[in-house]
A and B are shown apart, each in its own frame.
Chain A
Amino acid sequence: KAGVTQTPRYLIKTRGQQVTLSCSPISGHRSVSWYQQTPGQGLQFLFEYFSETQRNKGNFPGRFSGRQFSNSRSEMNVSTLELGDSALYLCASSTGTGPEQYFGPGTRLTVT
């Protein structure tokens, strides 16, 4: 089975812009979770989508949003980018009925 894929792998954006990141889960998986990884804060949970519905949400501002499509692919959007949004954004895929998650390679976002 193919693993989790994320596009793009690298992004450079300017403060104030918006960005959309994409994640394709493992075939048959219905849950996609998103995490932000920074040197200072570590790995933090953003949100989870299961069957096109947001099922769980972390403590991030409303500038961070997401959605999931009927084929389970997910997108994450960050509006009005801030310098502090520079991070590795990781997507994780799971069946949705079990606890283990499988991660993609991440998207490295740099905000200048």
Chain B
Amino acid sequence: AQSVTQLGSHVSVSEGALVLLRCNYSSSVPPYLFWYVQYPNQGLQLLLKYTSAATLVKGINGFEAEFKKSETSFHLTKPSAHMSDAAEYFCAVSDSSGNTGKLIFGQGTTLQVKP
């Protein structure tokens, strides 16, 4: 069965500092992987996706993630945090067929950005 683990339910960084949000997955087949962001009282916005092409994936708002099969990881990074990045971030996995309509989510990481 597929699963996703996000290390750290809460991450705090200073404005301008590196953002690193960790995600490890478990999947018996090559996965599709996603990062979503959720602002208060809103739905989820797709930040980026890995679908077995390039292992370094660039997304919106300056975020990127690297797929490392050997480490079963898909960590999200951003070189310089902005106040507007404060939100909850979810890592998700789908099976390689990609057409089951089912995403399995991690528990989420709340990012706090301090001025």
Instruction: Select one of A92, A96, A103, A108 contacting B99, CB under 8 A.
Output: A96
**Shortest beta-carbon distance from B64 to chain A in Å:** 17
Are B43 and A104 neighbours in the complex by a CB distance under 8 Å? Answer: yes
- Measured as residues with beta carbon below 8 angstroms from the partner, the interface class of chain B is 20 to 34
Q: Main SS of chain A's interface residues?
A: strand
Are B108 and A99 neighbours in the complex by a CB distance under 8 Å? Answer: no
Q: Main SS of chain B's interface residues?
A: loop
Are B102 and A100 neighbours in the complex by a CB distance under 8 Å? Answer: no
Are B102 and A58 neighbours in the complex by a CB distance under 8 Å? Answer: yes
The tally of CB-CB contacts under 8 A between chains A and B is: 71
With contact pairs A43-B90, A43-B105, A45-B103 given, residues A102 and B46 touching in the complex (Cβ less than 8 Å)? yes
Q: What total of chain A residues lie within 8 Å of the partner, measured CB to CB?
A: 30
Residues of the A chain whose Cβ atoms lie less than 8 Å from the Cβ of B106: 42
Residues of the B chain whose Cβ atoms lie less than 8 Å from the Cβ of A43: 90, 103, 105, 108
Residues of the B chain whose Cβ atoms lie less than 8 Å from the Cβ of A92: 44, 101, 103
Q: How would residues 36 to 49 of chain B score, 1 for a CB under 8 Å from any chain A CB and 0 otherwise?
A: 10000111111001
Residues of the B chain whose Cβ atoms lie less than 8 Å from the Cβ of A96: 99, 101
Docked pose: A13 CA to B63 CA in angstroms: 39
Residues of the A chain whose Cβ atoms lie less than 8 Å from the Cβ of B94: 99
Which residues of chain B in 58-115 are interfacial with respect to chain A, using CB atoms and an 8 Å cutoff? 90, 94, 98-108
